[in-house]
Structure 1
Amino acid sequence: MELGAPELRTPAYHARNRWMVDRTSMTIGFPHAAGPSTGTWQTIGYTAEQGKPRLIVPV
């Protein structure tokens, strides 16, 4: 997925991740041990908010 944002910063990546979740029926995340502030965990959380299934595979 190409980002068409004028600046490639955190808000652009979060918008891209939400766009992808909105168009899928399930999300598979591969988070590192880092806490819930990472983009992966935020995307998994957004998926949960949408009531969609998610598979979490720790790396």
Structure 2
Amino acid sequence: MKLIHFKKISKIIKFLFCVFLCFILLVSPIFVYSINISHVYLKDVTFFKKIYTDNLGYADNAG
């Protein structure tokens, strides 16, 4: 009787482990993608800031 119970528990554990692995495989690309998006966004913001300040500097020099 105990052996059957143990088999049930091991099946449940295996199932949960598979679900966990699938969850990680699904979520990790989304997580990495969002990190890349935020990184690119920050790069763009700094790039636009640089253009903006360069233009202001140019205007100051012209003035």
User: Would you call these one fold, judging by a TM-score over 0.5?
Assistant: no
Give TM-score scaled by structure 1 length: 0.28
- Which has the higher Rg, Structure 1 or Structure 2? 2
Q: Which has the higher contact order (CA 8 A, sep 6+)?
A: 1
Give TM-score scaled by structure 2 length: 0.26
